[in-house]
Structure 1
Amino acid sequence: MFGTFLNLILLLTAINLSAQVYPAARYCAMGGTGNALQGVEGLTSNVAGIGSMTASRAGIYHQEHFLNTDIRTQGLLLAVPTKLGVFGSHISNYGIKDAYSELKANLSYAKRFGPQLSIGLALNYHQLQLREYGKNQAFSADVGLQFQVKPFWVIGARVANPGYASYNYSAYSVIPVIIGVGTSYQFHPNLLITADSEKVLYRDKVDFRTGLEYKPISWMSFRGGIGLNEFSQFCGFGFVYHKMILDLATVIHHRLGLSPQLLLAYAF
């Protein structure tokens, strides 16, 4: 009982400090950047990132927050390209079992307009559950775009919850309004550099993050990054075997410790 209470205090402290529900492992390992990256992981960051997909992909991920606590995130990802555009869905749950839970489920759509521009929209369902207070629900939307300036250079922007959706009551959790911009630059066929800047409207500071991905061989990638607001370091690696993808990431928070994540995906 005391352990659960302590974990809940830690969880609420973490929400107030950084509200960190990190993107999927590849983006997470690259400093939590993703506004200008492409792939199914865009469902956890900038939804426009799925607009360039040409093959379907499904994935499942799990993250342990601060390692020695019971705070966890689990999620499912699915993106399916069609002639009309790319349709996707993302379901995630963040919290402590039987104490605190934030469920988010969305339906997403992204479309490429010509060879350079992708625009995406996500419609979200939120459910907040606190053991002593019951459930609360809300709906929100996210919008994003990406523009390919050159074959090796992409810029992106997103707004999460532009309609300021909120729960009816909650002293501990909000649905943040986030404005983000970012860029990715392929300096070399083996080296990708990213940078993101994001502002959560109820906070004073702007968060700046940068990351990289180095691919020495076609089936292996090494990743790293840093975040300046609530200084954090990020690292990870990825493997591809035929149609299977395994990504691992770790967030190193200077006060709260390690948050490892694993994602397993399949392309079809």
Structure 2
Amino acid sequence: MIRLFILVIITFELSAQEYVPAKYASSGSQGIADSGIYTLAGNPAGVSRINRPQLALGYQQHFLGTDIQSQALFFAMPIKAQGGLGLLIENYGIPEVTSLIKSGFTFSKYFGKQINASLSINYHQYHVESYTTSKSWSADLGFQYLFEKVQLGAVFKNISGSTFSNEIPEAIDQEIAFGALYYLSDEIQVLAELSNDFDSSIKYSAGLAYKIHKQIILRGGASSLPVEFHAGAGILVKKFIVDVASSFHTQLGSSPQLAIAYEF
């Protein structure tokens, strides 16, 4: 009965459940202005300047006590004198009940020392066990501009305005988002973002990352729509980076997650 109740709830707002990796969820952001493998889930222009191939896995338990989960696989590799390629596969839903799968391939290119741009082609599949399956395609554009201490980013998701069939009540996100990352010092980063999905008010978020040790980073932040608080940490262990995070919804509780990345 509880699974059916949860399914009814998420049916009305499944489109808002794109996976946000632990590195960014811990500060309330999507990584719109950041760089690295996890930007494949936020603004893929951020993989333009990676130096080595990277692989990452992520898992999130949505609202402790429910069966709602997210899993994600990331892969990114540099292209010499060009930029980077990326692959993202993510799944959101209730095991053996429903799933929303998104697979995306990204080509990201840099122009000089300051501009990054990306194009992502995504495949979407929504499935409800013993009921229905629907499929669709979409495209995303991402941009970044780099200053000495400030990075700016913008992304337009689902520029094609793609949808599932009329029989499916869920939508595919069509969102525009802007972000800024400011290096206050070698140890402290400040992040701020705003986004709009054209169906609701503008969402705001802000966060802070503090490197307390060369191998440990602490993060925290807050976001609106709905109001949530965020906290987490990143730990570097040889070639592995482990990120843990949790978001705290004022009514539904916490959603912990874990991500592990490896640089070849």
TM over 0.5: yes
Contact 1:75–1:90 (CA under 8 A) maintained in structure 2? yes
Q: 2:125 aligns with which of 124, 127, 130?
A: 127
> Aligned partners of 2:243, 2:150: CA distance in 1, in Å?
23
Residue 110 (structure 1) aligns with:
108
8 Å contact kept, 1:231–1:253: yes
Give the alignment of 1:30-69 within 5 angstroms: 30-69=27-66
Tell whether the 8 Å contact from 2:29 to 2:191 is kept in structure 1 after alignment. no
Q: Equivalences for 1:86-235 in 2 at 5 Å?
A: 86-148=84-146, 150-203=147-200, 205-235=201-231
| Aligned with 2:83 (options 60, 82, 85) | 85
> How far apart are 1:132 and its partner, in Å?
4.4
| Identity of matched residues, % | 31
Maintained 8 Å contact 2:14/2:171: no
The one-letter amino acid of 1:160's match is K
Q: CA deviation at 1:113?
A: 0.6
Partner SS state of residue 188, structure 1: coil
Offset at 1:56?
1.3
Amino acid at match of 2:22: A
The one-character-per-residue Cα deviations of 1:147-170 (angstroms, maximum 9, x if unpaired) are 01x221000000000110000134
Query: What TM-score does the superposition give when structure 2 sets the normalisation length?
Result: 0.96
Give the whole-Å Cα distance in 2 for the aligned partners of 1:33 and 1:116.
Answer: 21
- Tell me how many residue pairs correspond in the alignment: 263
Per-residue CA distance 1:23-81 (angstroms, 9 max, x = gap): 11101111123110111011010010111211211000100001110000001000000
Structure 1 alignment gaps of length 5 or more: none
Whichever residue aligns with residue 5 of structure 1, its letter is L
Report the 3-state secondary structure (helix = DSSP H, G, I; strand = E; otherwise coil) of the residue aligned with 2:184: strand
Distance 1:95 1:173 in 2: 13
Q: Distance in 2 between matches of 1:138 and 1:171?
A: 11
SS in 2 for 1:252: strand
| Structure 1 residue 13, shift from structure 2 partner | 5.3
Task: Give the distance between the partners of 1:20 and 1:93, measured in 2 at CA.
Answer: 10
TM-score normalised according to structure 1 size: 0.95
| Contact 1:194/1:211 (<8 A) preserved | yes
The CA deviation at 1:228 is 1.9
Among 252, 255, 259, the alignment partner of 2:255 is: 259
Instruction: Name which of structure 1's ranges 170-179 and 100-109 shifts more when overlaid on structure 2.
Output: 170-179
Q: CA RMSD in A?
A: 1.3
Question: Which runs of 4 or more aligned residues in structure 1 lie more than 6 Å from their structure 2 counterparts after TM superposition?
Answer: none
Structure 2 distance, partners of 1:71, 1:101, is 10
